[in-house]
Chains A and B, each alone.
Chain A
């Protein structure tokens, strides 16, 4: 055997032939040290500063775009009649979809007892929260007078006006705010025991004090752990229907309208699958450089990348079914408007966007992700993740813009052209997201230590009684 083959073999589990979830030879101590050292190091890697500088600079672009928006109004964007929902709604749906993979990993895979998810669940959840931060901003700034956004909430006011509970747009307010709240709570509760570890491992007084506060005084009593495990399971059980409902409600925003291209019953499942598809792509975009940069190959192994590739393959096919159904219904409905919409979407002036989406979401990933060799190749998976994220952005562009700009009456047709402010806002949120994620990686434990410890061989409870002389000295 050549040395590379030997090395390869230790990464494979002989029992299953699959890649191992955790590289062999890890102990409670080594795992803890590995994860804690990333945060409690006195020297921040230069690469982190460089990236944070770039991300911060890009986020500044968002600040500039927002300032101008607040001063002038939404007229600075490309939105007009008939395309009143432009980049803001595209980006809202794109970002919140990305967030969904984090909840899927932390909640649904927990319920299915997929313990391989333990290594990636913390940063996937962090990704969810930062994606929701970016997403939540868009509807607020899109309302035109964001300082009055609280009018969406039901509260007693001097105008004696109340919200209209039959509108999917109001349902969105409750769906997204609940999603943001529950995601933050789930994330924080998950980190409490790890904050305890950080408090106990740090040598620095300030760090001890801050992590001590965050840990809420966690001391690892098994009674506490039992309630904690119940609460985690319940939160996972609650987050699962929640995450499915959030993108369903968002798809109602479209599906409830009578517009051809929006008015379809396929939207809820197709939106949810698309959300998970793009979200897993974003997890890969983050995980592949992270494991390399922080040398976490022993904890985030080829198995994780491989499994995420499989999930993407499955959700990619659901998305493909959605696209196919849209085309089929355009023909089968025998509706003139539906078939024109489809023709216009494919071959109209913005037809190129449709073909970008088909290439990025179907042609490239769904032909290549079948191969395990490619699924475990880091450069290829990173490439695929970028491709799918691009494709999913174009999917939302196609749904929003190509349905709106040519509806029923040709006299009402128009076009859509995004302005530099649209692009600045979008690119700015990418910077904000990256900056928040870098702060998370630097200051919080990015891999759940307590959950990794549970999977180590040392956690096995040995046979009940090994005859030891247990003299009853206490009696």
Chain B
């Protein structure tokens, strides 16, 4: 069920990544902020053009890794020293060098899962509905060979007629209005 009514934004379709990057760069320079580009493969220049430089995935991964490390090491120490002490070849109960390997594995396990699921969460995925899928040409090209720039209606500069004219000035293949 759509949460809003009306226009989500205006979607311009381009044939090449260069055209998209140029248009996105220009729009950013002209003061547009609520916009996004959609490409069939990662186009770093387009992300730079709309002012998206950093993300929090590395931080989440680091936190996950440290959690895995400390959780496993703490469990190993607790099990071997307190819960179930065993004399193995006369080694000390707190034989930390032997505990490194499982702790290392869990560091990687937690960090990897944090990287993958953290990325999905930051991206707001899974999201099976999105207004863009209503655009008639979006699904035809966005995941294959076309490059899209969407100016969103939430931007204070947004005015349906003016914005449409503005996008036309980049000579895209088409500009369509996207409904919620």
Question: Which A residues lie at the B interface, using CB under 8 A?
Answer: 27-29, 32, 154, 160-168, 170-171, 174-175, 178, 181-182, 185-186, 189, 192-193, 196-197, 199-201, 212-213, 216-231, 234-235, 238-239, 241-242, 245, 249, 252, 449-451, 453-454, 458-462, 464-466, 468-475
Q: Which of A460, A466, A473 has the largest count of B CB atoms less than 10 A from its CB?
A: A473
Give complex CA distance A167, B91 in Å.
Answer: 12
Say whether B144 contacts A28, CB under 8 Å.
Answer: yes
Give complex CA distance A385, B139 in Å.
Answer: 42
The B85-112 residues at the A interface (CB cut-off 8 A) are 86, 88, 91, 95, 98-99, 101-102, 104-106, 108-109, 111-112
With A226-B42, A234-B115, A461-B18 given, is the CB distance from A472 to B30 under 8 Å? yes
Say whether B43 contacts A165, CB under 8 Å.
Answer: no
| A–B pairs, 17, beta carbons within 8 Å | A162-B83, A168-B101, A174-B105, A175-B101, A178-B105, A200-B140, A216-B120, A216-B125, A216-B128, A220-B38, A220-B40, A225-B42, A229-B42, A231-B57, A245-B105, A459-B41, A470-B169
Say whether B50 contacts A222, CB under 8 Å.
Answer: yes
Say whether A228 contacts B42, CB under 8 Å.
Answer: yes
Give complex CA distance A33, B163 in Å.
Answer: 34
The interface residues of chain A lying within 8 Å CB-to-CB of B88 are 164, 166-167
- In the complex, B174 has a CB within 8 A of chain A: no
The interface residues of chain B lying within 8 Å CB-to-CB of A170 are 102
With A197-B144, A234-B61, A474-B157 given, is the CB distance from A217 to B36 under 8 Å? no
Across the two chains, which residue of chain B brings its CB closest to A248? B101
Say whether A200 contacts B58, CB under 8 Å.
Answer: no
- In angstroms, how far is the closest chain A Cβ from the Cβ of B179? 16
- In angstroms, how far is the closest chain A Cβ from the Cβ of B129? 7
Say whether A219 contacts B95, CB under 8 Å.
Answer: no
Interface size on B, residues (CB 8 A): 84
Q: A219 touches which one: B38, B106, B112 (CB < 8 A)?
A: B38
Say whether B143 contacts A200, CB under 8 Å.
Answer: yes
Say whether A226 contacts B98, CB under 8 Å.
Answer: no
Question: Which B residues lie at the A interface, using CB under 8 A?
Answer: 16-18, 21-22, 25-27, 30-32, 36-47, 50, 52, 55, 57-58, 61, 65, 72, 75-76, 79-80, 83-84, 86, 88, 91, 95, 98-99, 101-102, 104-106, 108-109, 111-113, 115-116, 118-120, 122-123, 125-130, 132-133, 138-140, 142-145, 157, 162-163, 165-166, 168-171
The interface residues of chain A lying within 8 Å CB-to-CB of B169 are 469-471, 473
Say whether B52 contacts A171, CB under 8 Å.
Answer: no
Say whether B39 contacts A189, CB under 8 Å.
Answer: no
- In angstroms, how far is the closest chain B Cβ from the Cβ of A357? 29
Say whether B112 contacts A224, CB under 8 Å.
Answer: no
- In angstroms, how far is the closest chain A Cβ from the Cβ of B102? 4
- In angstroms, how far is the closest chain A Cβ from the Cβ of B153? 13
Across the two chains, which residue of chain B brings its CB closest to A223? B52
- In angstroms, how far is the closest chain B Cβ from the Cβ of A210? 12
The interface residues of chain B lying within 8 Å CB-to-CB of A217 are 125-130
Given A459-B43, A468-B22, A474-B166; 6 other pairs, CB 8 A cutoff: A178-B109, A199-B143, A231-B119, A245-B101, A458-B17, A470-B170
Say whether A230 contacts B119, CB under 8 Å.
Answer: yes
The interface residues of chain A lying within 8 Å CB-to-CB of B127 are 216-217
Q: B79 touches which one: A162, A225, A245, A473 (CB < 8 A)?
A: A162
With A166-B95, A230-B55, A234-B115 given, is the CB distance from A474 to B79 under 8 Å? no
The interface residues of chain B lying within 8 Å CB-to-CB of A475 are 30-31
The interface residues of chain B lying within 8 Å CB-to-CB of A235 are 112, 115-116
With A28-B145, A165-B98, A175-B105 given, is the CB distance from A238 to B112 under 8 Å? yes
Q: Which of A221, A223, A454 has the largest count of B CB atoms less than 10 A from its CB?
A: A221
Q: Which of A234, A242, A473 has the largest count of B CB atoms less than 10 A from its CB?
A: A234
The interface residues of chain B lying within 8 Å CB-to-CB of A225 are 39, 41-43, 47
Give complex CA distance A222, B37 in Å.
Answer: 6
Say whether A474 contacts B163, CB under 8 Å.
Answer: yes
